[in-house]
Amino acid sequence: MKFPNHKAGLHLTHNEHKNYYEKIEDYANDDFHKDSWISEEEKELAIKNNDMWKLQWYPETPIGFCVCSAYDLNKLLEYCLTQ
């Protein structure tokens, strides 16, 4: 399994919305996540199946980060490697 280069932390989460008793529709569309989806299709699949992955990493410093979300873990990792 390959991850994006990161000089600070990296966090891979699965179904984090369930930790907050939040509906995936609300979680997927909140201000933090609404622009993180790798595609609209992945977002729709995640909502349909109530299942999502999120990868957040800090490429250079602990201040700036990247975050991406998807239904399919392999597609998520492939996409993140191109960022």
Q: What is the mean pLDDT of residues 33-40?
A: 96
pTM for this model (two decimals): 0.93
Q: What is the mean pLDDT of residues 2-12?
A: 95
Q: What's the pLDDT score for residue 1?
A: 84
In three-state secondary structure terms, 67 is strand
Q: What's the pLDDT score for residue 69?
A: 98
Classify residue 37 by its DSSP letter: B
Which tens digits make up the pLDDT trace of 54-76? 999 999 999 999 999 999 999 99
What gap in Å lies between CA 56 and CA 43, rounded to an integer?
17
Q: What percent of the chain has pLDDT over 90?
A: 95
Phi first, then psi, for residue 55 (nearest 5°) are -120, 125
More confident residue, 57 or 83: 57
Q: Is the pLDDT of residue 3 over 90?
A: yes
